[in-house]
Amino acid sequence: MEKIVVKKLFKIFGDEPEKALKLLEQGHDKDSIHEKTGMTVGVNNASFSIESGEIFVVMGLSGSGKSTIVRMLNRLIDPTAGRVVVDGKDVTAMKKDELVNFRLHNMSMVFQSFALMPHMSVVDNAAFGLQLAKVDKDKRRERAIEALAQVGLEAWADSYPGELSGGMQQRVGLARGLAVDPDILLMDEAFSALDPLIRTEMQDELVKLQEKDQRTIVFISHDMDEALRIGDRIAIMEGGRVVQVGTPEDILQNPVDDYVRAFFRGVDPTNVISAGDIVRDTYPTIIKTKSGSMMAAHEILSGSDRNHAYVVDGQRHFLGMVTSEGLKEAIESGKSDKPIDQAFIKDVIPVKMDDSMQDILPSVASRSFPVPVVDENNVYKGVVSKNRFLRTLHRTEVHRAEEAEALEARQAESA
């Protein structure tokens, strides 16, 4: 369901925006318009839609227009042309009262510079949106403290922003945004001013909160890793234009032009590619039956050229792993009529389909056997072996090296 629709949105900063609009129609770009008229094209014909409940990341370098475009969603900046439609209502056409009301109840915002009121306590800051909406004192303190609890800061309710560290201040900013319980949360480079460790923590917290509440989040960032970590879909902007919109995998695999490709050059693929992308069902699976499984398993394994087999139940839920050695030992020590569980190798913990390559690296690296992969219902999907892991990395490297070479060759030609 479309929550926010942006239609042909333009923003020109300057005295005669219509003039610049005409020049844009004629095909001029941002730089030539600035040369000719001294005006700045902030956003150039942006059109996209944002689905309800998704985290939508708008990415770009400084000057790409991303901060401008998010401010047009709540009309902190008025568009020069085009429309913004939220829940079917045209924000661009709203009168002042309607707009104030809209901001009070439907949207809130978290800022890069935290923007906490220094003269108000932490809990009053968190309650700010509620105070503006004229919620009564006790009720708004209650809700503010709940919001602070969600970010782990309820103990600091009566402190002042000046006493808090950057990370804590931003969490108050987030609590302020959550306290009004908005459908839509706008986050303008909300984690960019935090140090890398805190930044990752905050990103995780955001995703966790999102699992509970399913808000529509529009997140501005210039950090590719951040976008890939938290984004359901990403819009890439350059010089005011929206260059590409898609899921992280889409964009990684089908970048629309060199600008987008260049964005991904520094990206670590192990954060994007998941176990599910590289899992292979290439090892024997043994279904655990009521009796005699050990002998049967041993037979099966001897017949194959593998050493490991993975045991599942009737619904293909993962139960454990056996090796030919282990089975042989168990049979020779007279346990052959016991359940096959007795021959399970210890400490075989499966990884999940959604885990990234980064997540499963420790398991894959430290085990001498291929690591089993299960989905969220513990259904066995296959394995990831060390070989497979390394080959995927290599392929990505080779792929990127080839692309980098191609890019350089093309640049040399056009120079």
Residue 67's closest CA among 239, 189, 195?
Answer: 189
Residue written as tokens 């906490």? 116
Q: Which is nearer to another protein, 79 or 248 (CB)?
A: 79
Q: Which stretch binds another protein (CB under 8 A): 35-43, 115-123, 281-289, 343-351?
A: 115-123
Q: Which is nearer to another protein, 104 or 296 (CB)?
A: 104
| DSSP symbols for 263-288 | HGGG--GGGTSBHHHH-B--S-EEE-
How far apart are CB 216 and another protein at their closest, in Å? Answer: 16
Q: Which stretch binds another protein (CB under 8 A): 112-120, 265-273, 305-313, 406-414?
A: 112-120
How many other C-beta atoms are found inside a 10 Å radius of the C-beta of residue 202? 20
What's the one-letter identity of residue 109? M
For residue 356, the SS3 value is strand
CA distances (Å), origin 87, targets 5, 157, 181, 186, 247: 9, 34, 16, 15, 23
Q: Which is nearer to another protein, 97 or 158 (CB)?
A: 97
Residue 11 CA to residue 336 CA, distance in Å, equals 76
Residue 144 CA to residue 157 CA, distance in Å, equals 9
Q: Which is nearer to another protein, 133 or 198 (CB)?
A: 133
User: Does residue 280 bind another protein (CB under 8 A)?
Assistant: no
User: Does residue 15 bind another protein (CB under 8 A)?
Assistant: no
How many other C-beta atoms are found inside a 10 Å radius of the C-beta of residue 282? 11
Q: Which is nearer to another protein, 29 or 183 (CB)?
A: 183
How many other C-beta atoms are found inside a 10 Å radius of the C-beta of residue 211? 8
User: Does residue 291 bind another protein (CB under 8 A)?
Assistant: no
Q: Which is nearer to another protein, 116 or 340 (CB)?
A: 116
Q: Which stretch binds another protein (CB under 8 A): 111-119, 250-258, 324-332, 395-403?
A: 111-119
Query: Is the separation of the CB atoms in 45 and 51 below 8 Å?
Result: no
Residue 52's closest CA among 176, 180, 185?
Answer: 185
User: Does residue 233 bind another protein (CB under 8 A)?
Assistant: no
H, E, C per residue of 361-403: HHHHHHCCCCEEEECCCCEEEEEECHHHHHHHHHHHHHHHHHH
Residue 304's closest CA among 328, 285, 330?
Answer: 285
User: Does residue 132 bind another protein (CB under 8 A)?
Assistant: yes
How far apart are CB 17 and another protein at their closest, in Å? Answer: 20
User: Does residue 109 bind another protein (CB under 8 A)?
Assistant: yes
Nearby residues of 372 by Cβ (< 8 Å), 6 or more positions away: 310, 318, 321, 348, 350, 351, 380, 382, 383
Site for another protein in 169-188 (CB under 8 A): 176, 180, 186
User: Does residue 193 bind another protein (CB under 8 A)?
Assistant: no
DSSP structure class, residue 93: G
User: Total number of residues binding another protein (CB under 8 A)?
Assistant: 25
Q: Lay out the site mask for another protein across 133-172 (x = CB under 8 A, - = otherwise).
A: x---------------------------------------
How far apart are CB 145 and another protein at their closest, in Å? Answer: 18
SS3 of the chain: helix, strand, coil, percent, to 5: 45, 25, 30
Residue 200 burial (C-beta neighbours within 10 Å; 0-12, 13-18, 19+): middle
How far apart are CB 260 and another protein at their closest, in Å? Answer: 30
User: Does residue 129 bind another protein (CB under 8 A)?
Assistant: yes
How far apart are CB 163 and another protein at their closest, in Å? Answer: 15
User: Does residue 352 bind another protein (CB under 8 A)?
Assistant: no
User: Does residue 34 bind another protein (CB under 8 A)?
Assistant: no
Which one of 67, 68, 74, 170 is in contact with another protein (CB under 8 A)? 74
Which one of 8, 22, 89, 119 is in contact with another protein (CB under 8 A)? 119
Q: Which stretch binds another protein (CB under 8 A): 113-121, 141-149, 284-292, 392-400?
A: 113-121
Contact positions vs another protein (CB under 8 A)? 74, 76, 100-105, 107-109, 111, 113, 115, 117-119, 128-129, 131-133, 176, 180, 186
